[in-house]
Every structure is written in structure tokens, then in C-alpha cells.
Amino acid sequence: MARSPSPAGPAAVAGALVVLFLAAPVVALLAEAAGWRGLGAALADPAVRGAFFLTFLCATAATAVGALAGVPLGYLLARRDFHGKRWVEGLLELPVVIPHPVAGIAILLAFGRAAPLGRLLGGGVVGAPLGIVACMLFVSLPFLVSGAREGFALVDPRLEAIARTLGAGPAGAAFGVALPLAARPILSGAVLMWARAVSEFGSIAIVTYHPKVASILVYDRFTTSGLPGAVPPAALLVAVALAAFVALRGLARPVATRS
């Protein structure tokens, strides 16, 4: 009996090519790092340790600030229609599409020493960890807001209505029903935001080259010492990103969000 052609064969070939394309640079970098001094040697370098500590601290701070402001915004976008909603949604997508050095320049103009908002922040964000946090927040917040919006959109709004009839106020219904049910997509968005913040380079290079975060350090080492200096911290960054995305896969398991 003749068999109908299966799409699985061509799909597998295409998939293998994509996996190969993505894996080749990662494997090459990790192999090169083991060939030079290894990830352990990179960690032994105080400058690398300092840059990574600063990176993780700023990324965590940006994610925390992003969660405080972005989760309520995600809730609003999922639940309410309001004037200017499309503009807000467009604005949230902007950091994903504009070149990040451009984002850095915009942040400099808005929060620099000469800008009113910069003076409000106590002398601006240039050359300060606050500048790093601002850059990270600007470029990575859309991931968290998007995760929160999608998470809340999956929760049946009638569950909150029932919670209200049971005596919960608007905040009680949101925290007691909507937030727990949207927790996984929000956490996924937070991990994605944190990882994106860790990897940010373009805007930080404009706003706060010093003190150096990991991505700036890698670039700096490449321009001053070439590959031998850049590969170990670069491989360490890749290892961190891999760990973050393995964790993300775990969070992305399906969960019932409707009754």
C-alpha cells in the first residue's frame, strides 16, 4: 500500500539545521573556554567576579522593580480597555525593536545629569549602577509585562467576579485568585526579563561603561586582550544563560488556569 508523504522527514531535517546553527557557536565557545583557562579560571579573576556580581545584582534589581510595576500593568492590559491602550502596548514593544545603543542615548537624554528626571534621581544615571538598572529595565521589561499579560488573560475573569461575591475586595480577588493562577507565566516572564537584563550590552555601553557589567567586560577584554581574554567570561555568561533557560522550561509546564 502506498504511504502518504509525511511532513516529519523534512521538518526533522530543518529542525536539525536550526539546532546545529544555534548550538555550534555555544559549543565552540564552551570548548574554547575549557581549552584556555576554563570557567573556573574565569571565576578566579576578581574583575570577572565583580562584573558578574554587579550584573546579577542589577539584573535582579531591575527584575524586582519590573515585577512591582510590570505585573499590575500586565493585569491592566489583560483585563481592561482604556484610552491609549494601543499606545502603551506599542511603547512596550519599542525596546525590542530599536537598536539598544539608541535606547542608551534615549535613557541618557531622559535620565542624564542635565535632564529633569535625572536630577530628580539625584544626579542622573550616568556612570552609576542606577544607570545599569535603568538600561536593563528599559530593554527587558517588555518580557515580564508580556508574560504577566498573557498569564492574566488565561485566567477566567469570572473567577475573580465570584471571589468578589464571596467577600474579597478587588485586591483580594487579584492576589487570591488571579495572581496565583497567572504565577507560572509571570515567573517565566521574570526569568526571561532577568536573562535579557544579564545579556544587555548596547544601552549600558552608552550610559554606564564603568563600573563594568559582564557584557561590557567581555567586550573590553576582547578589544584589549583579544580572544584569550574574552572567551572565559563569555563562556561563563553563556553557561548562566543556559541555566536560566533550563529553569524557564521547568516553569513553562502547562497549568490549569480555569475552573
Nearest-angstrom CA–CA distance, 163 and 170:
9
Nearer to another protein, 108 or 148 (CB): 148
Q: Determine contact, residues 182/148, Cβ cutoff 8 Å.
A: yes
**98: enclosing H helix or E strand:** none
168 scored as a contact of another protein (CB under 8 A): yes
172 scored as a contact of another protein (CB under 8 A): yes
Phi, psi of 5 (to 5 degrees): -60, 130
Q: Of 26-34, 40-48, 152-160, 241-249, which segment contacts another protein by CB under 8 A?
A: 152-160
Candidate residues 181, 204, 217, 236; the one interacting with another protein per rule CB under 8 A: 181
Candidate residues 91, 166, 242, 243; the one interacting with another protein per rule CB under 8 A: 166
Q: Of 134-142, 157-165, 219-227, 230-238, which segment contacts another protein by CB under 8 A?
A: 157-165
Cis peptide before 254 (omega within 30 of 0): no
If you search the block for the grid coordinates 506599542, which residue do you land on?
Answer: 90
Q: Of 24-32, 131-139, 161-169, 192-200, which segment contacts another protein by CB under 8 A?
A: 161-169
N-term to C-term CA, the chain: 47
Q: State the minimum distance, in angstroms, from the CB of residue 258 to another protein.
A: 7
**36: enclosing H helix or E strand:** none
Nearer to another protein, 9 or 167 (CB): 167
